[in-house]
A and B are shown apart, each in its own frame.
Chain A
Amino acid sequence: MPAPRTAEHFADLATQQRAARLGMWTFLASEVLLFAGLFALYGAYRVRYRDAFAEAVRHNTLWFGTTNTFVLLTSSLTVALAVRAIRADRCGSALVFVGLTIVLGLGFLGIKGFEYADHIEHGLLPARFFSSDVITGPGAIIFYTIYWIATGLHGVHVTAGLCVLGWLATRIAHDRVDATNPVALELGAMYWHLVDMIWLFLWPLLYLTR
């Protein structure tokens, strides 16, 4: 197993790892603010179109959203188990857990895809593409515009997270990430947890607050 390498501008490996973790936390803070703008828009329009938003939320399929919440929460568990395994130097099981996380992440996107197909079929599309005759009015249209942008942006983040996890899997397979140098996997897991956490806010806003 190759020994972890300290880049020449760091005093020691511990400092390098501390810097990597702090950099990731700072990046996650930035990501939270990216979604915060959307949450602010949602809040302002929810106040303005209270009944229309509640009706649109009732119109969303609760089961799609809730199933996806379970899928994503489970994937957060598996990625956490992967970190635990790598710290205990069980690289084989770490690889299995990362693989499970990827499968669950793909499952999330798959379920989301079915849900999108369902929305398209019923004309529940953003802005001027909206053509439902079951729910109408500006409030419903704005709800679905925000819905598509928020879930779309979240989907982009899930996809990015999956790419990172796939790359990490090859790193673990090639013994480049292990108990002495687990930081890369830790950072990937932190990012995955953020993706999960943002969904935990989207889920009530888009499915539960009927």
Chain B
Amino acid sequence: MIEVSPVPSFLAAKTGPRAWLLTRDHKRIGLMFLFATVAFLFLGGAFAMLLRTELVRPERDLFDATMYNRLFTMHGVVMVFLFMIPSIPAGFGNFVLPIMIGARDVAFPRLNLASFYIYLIGAFVTLGSLVGGGVDTGWTFYTPYSSTSPTAVAPTAIGIFIIGISSIITGINFITTVHTMRAKGMRWHDMPLFVWSIYATSIIQVLATPVLGLTLVLVGLDHVLGIGLFDPRVGGDPVLYQHLFWFYSHPAVYIMILPAMGVISEIVCTFAHRNPASYRAIAYSSLGIAFVGFLTWGHHLFVSGMSETDAAIFGVLSMFVAVFSAIKVFTWTGTLYRASIRLGTPLGYLFAFLFLFVFGGMTGVAVATQSLDVPWHDTYFVVAHFHFIMVGGTTTAFLAAWHYWFPKMFGRMYDERVGLLTAALVFGGFFMTFFPQFLLGNAGMPRRYYSYPDQYQALHVLSTGGSWALGLAMLLAFGQLVVAWRKGPRAPANPWHSRSFEWSTSSPPPEHNFVGPFVVRRGAYDYDLTQEEADARSTDR
């Protein structure tokens, strides 16, 4: 194990604002993405807390209908486009992917920096439209309402279009990096599983995002010029909008969850100190989800006018995603089964992930069935479903990743007791927020209303209480990381005794990731080897 590196770490190599703002180092760009996404996580969370607070009492308290609509739209837009989509791929993907494959940087470092600034410009335009009146259409911008809404639809659409460009650039960069920059001796099946999941994500980013871009351009043009391509008054078809929108936005949920699955695969193997039960099952099911994810968008349109045959086909295709996901879940639990597991904060978040993901996934199979979806459509049941699987999955994996790679990024450790306690509080708060929403939806409470009949109040109060606990847990989690960053004890190079390649270099890594050329003669999870042998087979000197 490399304990002390004679080369300065990337954090110490250059300092000052210029060294950060004009950097081409994937690690610094990754960190800037991470700081930005955490800021947007808190902003989107603040919108959600306001919404939940309004819902404590059945009648109107804080906001009128329009303001409420603006708030849930901004909550969705910020969380989807500014937090979840870039969080793990552009943040942790940027930081660890090149190190994991033994590269000195991504293939196109300048484009990588550009993608960060394009993302910031997009965020600026999107949030700027808040000042210019906000948007009240929901993050889905459904036509024909989005054509006639008096709010700032066009600037928001342009902002999201710009963020999409950043997402495409990140995807192109990672695909090229994985193909061309692997260290000497590293074959595809030697790569850490996180790399496979980011690779699958990148394919979706490159192929699905342009369709959303085009669709948002059409919505923006419609709002400004009234081109009416989706307006039934002039012969257009609003359902076509839904098809185009979900052709991106359904695969987009796999942009959010596939990287999370990659994080979980890493943590499972490290904390079980064991080879994955099946490397290929996890790697190929990522590609499987990326592929079949393109063919499931129709399940959002079950009540929008769709033949029963189409609905059945889309339903069955959607269930294939559950099959691939189940392959992963069983492989993870198979890896953990009877292993000598090390307890740690990332593992705590991993268990939260597994529960939320499996629970949310099973309700997903239910809503993929047309006969069940019709009564649940546009109720809190669907809200609870996608928050469990998408938000619960992504956020717990995001927090797991923060705690797992924190020593790698900053070379410091945090307090494990606080970490585990926070993980439990995140899980508890999350469950208490969203589990009542399944019951609310099943009892008929529609989504996107600021007032409701009295009989729903108890469950709403429970949900709001949970959201406060969740908000508190988030503050605790990141507060403790800030403290650890300043005052935490020094971390060894490989505190988890992981075999994955990002731990083969010092923590934090030197500016060019490795001291000399990195050479590999083993897979990413050779836990059968002794530590000395494993280190000898993956070395940079």
Contacts and interface: CB of A to CB of B under 8 A. Distances in A.
Interface in A140-161: 141-142, 145-146, 149
Interface stretch (A17-25, A56-64, A81-89, A172-180): A17-25
A44 B240 CA distance: 8
A37 B176 contact: no
A30 B209 contact: yes
Contact of A9 (B105, B175, B221): B105
Given A9-B103, A19-B107, A22-B180, A44 B209 contact: no
A38 B240 CA distance: 11
A127 B221 CA distance: 11
Given A9-B103, A142-B229, A145-B228, A30 B176 contact: no
B199 to A, nearest CB: 12
A145 B229 contact: yes
Interface stretch (B87-95, B231-239, B386-394): B231-239
B213 interface: yes
A41 B229 contact: yes
Given A26-B175, A127-B225, A19 B207 contact: no
Interface string B210-233: 110111001001000111110000
Interface string A22-49: 1100110111011111101100110011
Nearest to B232: A138
Contact of A34 (B173, B176, B214): B214
Contacts of B227: 126-127, 145, 149
A17 to B, nearest CB: 10
A8 B104 contact: yes
B43 interface: no
A97 to B, nearest CB: 28
A31 B210 contact: yes
Contacts of A149: 218, 221, 227, 229
A22 B176 CA distance: 6
A66 interface: no
Main secondary structure, interface of B, reads helix
Given A19-B107, A142-B235, A29 B218 contact: no
B240 A41 contact: yes
Interface in B134-182: 168, 171-173, 175-177, 179-181
B226 A128 contact: yes
A67 interface: no
A9 B106 CA distance: 8
Interface string B61-93: 000000000000000000000000000000000
A15 interface: yes
B240 A34 contact: no
> Residue among A22, A23, A138 with the most chain B CB within 10 A?
A23
Given A9-B512, A126-B227, A145-B227, A34 B237 contact: no
Contact of A37 (B105, B215, B236): B215
A139 interface: yes
Nearest to B175: A26
A159 B392 CA distance: 45
Which of A7, A33, A128 counts the most chain B CB atoms within 10 A? A33
A126 B244 CA distance: 20
Contacts of B128: none
Nearest to B104: A9
B214 A37 contact: yes
Nearest to A142: B235
Interface string A110-137: 0000000000000000111000000001
B235 A37 contact: no
B439 interface: no
A141 B227 CA distance: 10
A40 B244 contact: yes
A26 B206 contact: yes
B244 A37 contact: yes
Given A8-B104, A29-B206, A30-B168, A22 B179 contact: yes
B132 to A, nearest CB: 24
B218 A27 contact: no
A64 B215 CA distance: 28
A137 B209 CA distance: 33
Contact of A44 (B171, B176, B237): B237
Nearest to B244: A37
A15 B180 contact: yes
B162 to A, nearest CB: 14
B321 interface: no
13 contacts: A8-B512, A22-B180, A30-B207, A33-B211, A40-B244, A48-B237, A49-B235, A126-B225, A127-B226, A128-B234, A137-B235, A142-B234, A145-B228
Smallest CB-CB A-B distances: 3 pairs:
A138-B235, A34-B210, A9-B105
Interface of A: 7-11, 15, 18-19, 22-23, 26-27, 29-31, 33-38, 40-41, 44-45, 48-49, 126-128, 137-139, 141-142, 145-146, 149
Given A23-B107, A30-B206, 5 more contacts: A23-B172, A127-B226, A127-B228, A127-B234, A149-B227
